[in-house]
Amino acid sequence: MNKSLIQLTSLINWKRKLFLILLIGSLAVLGIGIACLNFGTVSINPKDIITLLINGSQDKTKSLIIWQLRAPRIVLGILTGAALSTVGGAFQGILRNPLADPYILGVSAGAALGACTGIAFQYMTGYLLSSYLPLFAFIGAMLSLYLVYKSSKISYSANSTGLLLSGVAINFLFSALITVLLALSRRELHSMVFWLMGDLSSANWKKISIITLPVIIGSLILFFSSLDLNALSLGEEEALHLGINTSKLRIRIFVIGSIIIATVVSFTGLIGFVGLIIPHIARLLVGPDHRIMLPVAAFLGGAFLILCDVLARTLMSPTEIPIGAITAIIGAPLFIYLLRRKN
């Protein structure tokens, strides 16, 4: 009787905890997002921004800058950071590997190859393609998803090594093809390199409307797999004993996670480091329970990425620093600091 009481309280605690996290997290991200509206190349008085947000615009340039440039960029940053961190956390769970990140299973390389192919062809087709790059990237990502899925099925799908190695192999293959494209390209080189570094500056509302749904639905599916992920974290056999079909779980998380990542990176390019480090930070802060850890990672990831983006666009203004560099420069020391404190 005592035992079931503990179970009951832990259940209540878990729900209460999650509720608190959702409340605090969304308020914090909203607050940080609004605060980030203040920063940019052009300095705009915070008072003006508040009146602009409430009453609409009086100054056309300012409202264009806030509504068409900064706001979509921040929203895209939140979505991207959240998606990368959630998927990173879930992938670390299914692969039982702390070095896993959303890019380790090959989707990113596929997207990159697709985008670079699109860029390489944009001259041949008379400049028609530049606005369809995301579609190219997405097709590439789906191709790699398919190949990894197939090769992991053919190889030993019963354990996480098979999936991991298939992903790594496809990653290498596609990266090699990208290198060939880079070596062959001339005028396109610069565009390709920039795509590979990731960039939020092209954010607009249309892109956001396309990626929001896949990110939210996908993340919810990942979230509802939390208990299975928890069981898997005890060990492969333990999970099997608990009645979980681990290879099916792995494939499900892999496919859903990859689709989320494919939609996001098709628009932003490869923003590195967030998906690797944020889940670890979330784990350090709230423990390994995926039900709590995944939402925390999503909020942390979103907030972290928009803060990094603010630095990227203001530090050397009007020059923009690639955001992937900022995430690593800020994230790595922060992570080491948290690790040390935990010990």
Partner 1 sequence: MNIFKKSNLIFISIFIILSLFLLKNIYEKKESMLQIQKQVDKHQVGTSNTTEYPLTVIDETGTAVTVSKEPQRLISTAPSNTEILFALGLGEKVVGITNYCNFPEESKNIEKIGEISPLNYEKIISLNPDLVLAYGGFQLKDIPRLRELGITAIVLEPLNLKDTFKSIKMIATACGIPDKGSLLVNNLTKKVDKIKSKVSSIPISSHPKIFIGGTSETIYTPGAGTLFNELISMAGGQNIAAGLSFWKKINPEFVAKAEPDIIIVPIGVMNQEEESKIKEIISKRAGWSNIPAIKNQKIFIVDEDLFYRAVPRLVEGLELLFKIFHE
Exactly one of 108, 122, 166, 268 binds partner 1 (CB under 8 A); which one?
A: 122
Tokens for 321, please give them.
């620093």
Exactly one of 11, 204, 248, 339 binds partner 1 (CB under 8 A); which one?
A: 204
| 165 vs 9: CA distance, rounded Å | 41
List CB contacts of 74: < 8 A, sequence separation 6 or more: 33, 36, 37, 306, 309
Q: Does 42 bind partner 1 (CB under 8 A)?
A: yes
- Write the DSSP symbol of residue 321: P
Nearer of residues 25 and 77 to partner 1, judged by Cβ: 77
| 117 vs 25: CA distance, rounded Å | 39
Contact predicate 307/289, CB 8 Å = no
Exactly one of 94, 105, 119, 215 binds partner 1 (CB under 8 A); which one?
A: 119
**What minimum distance in Å lies between the beta carbon of 154 and partner 1?**
8
Nearer of residues 34 and 69 to partner 1, judged by Cβ: 69
**What minimum distance in Å lies between the beta carbon of 136 and partner 1?**
8
> By CB under 8 A, which span of 81-89, 91-99, 133-141, 216-224 interacts with partner 1?
133-141
List CB contacts of 242: < 8 A, sequence separation 6 or more: 231, 234
Q: Does 22 bind partner 1 (CB under 8 A)?
A: no
Contact predicate 306/81, CB 8 Å = yes
Exactly one of 201, 223, 242, 284 binds partner 1 (CB under 8 A); which one?
A: 201
| 143 vs 105: CA distance, rounded Å | 12
- Write the DSSP symbol of residue 95: H
- Write the DSSP symbol of residue 66: I
∠ CA 84-90-96 to the nearest 5 degrees?
A: 125
Exactly one of 3, 187, 340, 341 binds partner 1 (CB under 8 A); which one?
A: 187
**What minimum distance in Å lies between the beta carbon of 70 and partner 1?**
7
Size of the site for partner 1 (CB under 8 A): 46
Q: Does 199 bind partner 1 (CB under 8 A)?
A: yes
Q: Does 139 bind partner 1 (CB under 8 A)?
A: yes
CA diameter of the chain: 75
**What minimum distance in Å lies between the beta carbon of 168 and partner 1?**
21
**What minimum distance in Å lies between the beta carbon of 193 and partner 1?**
10
Nearer of residues 66 and 100 to partner 1, judged by Cβ: 66
Tokens for 252, please give them.
């499900």
Q: Does 243 bind partner 1 (CB under 8 A)?
A: no
SS3 content of the chain, % helix, strand, coil (to 5): 80, 0, 20
List CB contacts of 113: < 8 A, sequence separation 6 or more: 140, 143, 144, 174, 177, 178, 181
Q: Does 209 bind partner 1 (CB under 8 A)?
A: no
Q: Does 245 bind partner 1 (CB under 8 A)?
A: no
Residues in touch with partner 1 (CB under 8 A) = 40-42, 61, 64-65, 68-70, 119, 122, 125-133, 135-136, 138-139, 142-143, 145-146, 149-150, 186-188, 190-191, 194-195, 199, 201-202, 204, 313, 317-320
